[in-house]
Chains A and B, each alone.
Chain A
């Protein structure tokens, strides 16, 4: 299997893992290790620059993975640029995932703000990874301003609806000269494998692992799926689903409440 190259850095895994939504820092650490991911992304707003009680950066640094901070929470280009500069200072990396979603219901990326922020940050010397809609022309425009990779979404973030944008993704992959990282919406390892079979360079997963019944085991499953999908792509194809269950006291309460 070929290695992935992002912003000139050779990486042994094609899986990028998000760090939100875990039960604890320890569980996150175990999941990252099980996933084999060499890059993890985290919201700069969750990074405690003063090292108080929710520090997630420390455990990640211990694992030796590369950090890709993101600007999640920014609602316009200015806020994203500000968060990026702050993260460069706080974390000492010029990698930044630009993420701007003003609407709070579906958290879809704003194409104009994403484009503007990406352009400014590239000028400022950042290695920009642009989270965006699966719009082939937008991805082309982002490539032209010099982003390190485009990260089009498979479906709305956290929705676990899989590769709803499959048709557009295949056009993006066909046209792109920078790595295409499929981001957001992947709910199952089979979908991760499918994205890599199509020729995506990498994929980014968070909720599907963090909200799984056993996040660490699911991280391992995604690791295997990524390997299977990429190997299948390189071999050349012959042709052309989170759980939560009520605990037993809750169960009893509900039975009582339904009387």
Chain B
């Protein structure tokens, strides 16, 4: 039974009441269970209001200690490479939505190579390939060409592209793929329907079963997230925690990463119905670390510099810096539309300096899977 089948058996809105009914005693109990397997009521306690009001400092300290103990001072540096802004999906919140009229592009192999050279010059070896969803022009035939080229530059290669079949993931693994990021955006069926108006992404089951397929293909890591701001965060975070438990049970060899992208209120942009403030986000990050000590927690340049410097020492293990969300943005900046605005526009060296000031060690080289691939 897939995770979609499991979560479909419950009314996810009922998570709200579970979170709201948590008391100080529940938070105490959850914190005392730290290091053992935690269950959903524990996570509910960690993201509850009593936890924020009475335990946030304790949670922050615990989260830092757990992170240093498990990951040391290392922070893995990765960079997104936008391949294409072509997209057949119409998603209410996204800059690449097919409803938006702008010049669309798919990078040619020469352009991809230019990007890789520029990325190499920045020092990165952990590359996240990103594209909109276009089976026709950025589907498997395209990935078959792009993947071996990029792998020459990437010790660790991740994709955040349209969901693929288990067979396709297995094939891409053979071409050097290490990890898949696939964000569910929201686990609430009604909200999902309202925001994903057309295109293949409107098929909620196909998307939610992607981590299953990546696990079946034996990929090293799967990145999960809910897009904070779309729906009640109590509901989406609880469902995401259930997804984490499910993945741990069914695919114990797969590493898991969690991100916390959030929609911010902005003039002229998509207005989030459930904005998540800084204080809440800090609580959520520490809750993840305490809930599952092994999670990779990654943060993109969607967040601003000051806030990133504040939260990274708390428990974050993966950071991007100097990012462009525009196809071709590293070698030929300013020619194409970007997916979302980068809020931390510091260069990679500046971000590394800030990390070191916090006693952290930015790590660029992790060939953890490359070495074993030739077996």
Contacts and interface: CB of A to CB of B under 8 A. Distances in A.
B372 to A, nearest CB: 4
A117 to B, nearest CB: 12
B365 A53 contact: yes
B13 interface: no
Contact of B69 (A45, A54, A242): A242
B346 interface: no
A113 to B, nearest CB: 12
Given A74-B372, A158-B69, A103 B361 contact: no
B56 A254 contact: yes
A243 B360 contact: no
Contacts, number: 125
Interface stretch (B99-107, B249-257, B329-337): B249-257
Contact of B70 (A158, A249, A255): A158
A46 interface: yes
A246 B60 contact: yes
Contacts of A20: 72, 74
A244 B68 CA distance: 8
Contact of B253 (A21, A104, A256): A104
A257 B361 contact: no
Nearest to A43: B368
Interface stretch (B20-28, B146-154, B276-284): B276-284
B275 interface: no
Interface stretch (A33-41, A78-86, A140-148, A192-200): A78-86
A54 to B, nearest CB: 4
B200 interface: no
Contact of A242 (B65, B356, B365, B371): B65
Interface string A35-63: 00000000011101000111000000000
A45 B366 contact: yes
Contacts of A258: 52-54, 56-57, 279
Interface string B117-147: 0000001010000000000000000000000
A77 to B, nearest CB: 10
A244 B65 contact: yes
Contacts of A9: none
B232 interface: no
Interface string B70-81: 111110000000
B371 A86 contact: yes
B274 to A, nearest CB: 18
Given A24-B361, A102-B253, A73 B356 contact: no
B310 interface: yes
B358 interface: yes
Interface in A208-259: 210-211, 242-247, 249-251, 253-259
A22 B61 CA distance: 19
Given A257-B52, A257-B282, A258-B56, A22 B72 contact: yes
A23 B256 CA distance: 24
B29 interface: no
Interface of A: 20-24, 44-46, 48, 52-54, 73-75, 78-79, 82-83, 86, 102-105, 158-160, 207, 210-211, 242-247, 249-251, 253-259
28 contacts: A21-B72, A24-B356, A45-B368, A45-B371, A54-B364, A54-B365, A73-B368, A73-B369, A75-B253, A83-B372, A103-B253, A104-B254, A104-B256, A105-B294, A207-B69, A244-B61, A244-B67, A244-B313, A245-B64, A246-B61, A250-B60, A250-B310, A250-B313, A250-B314, A253-B310, A256-B279, A258-B53, A258-B57
Interface of B: 35, 52-54, 56-57, 60-61, 64-65, 67-74, 123, 125, 248, 252-256, 278-279, 282-283, 294, 310, 313-314, 356, 358-361, 363-369, 371-372, 374-375
Which 10 pairs between the two chains have the least Cβ-Cβ distance? A21-B72, A257-B279, A244-B64, A79-B372, A45-B368, A54-B365, A73-B368, A211-B68, A82-B375, A23-B73
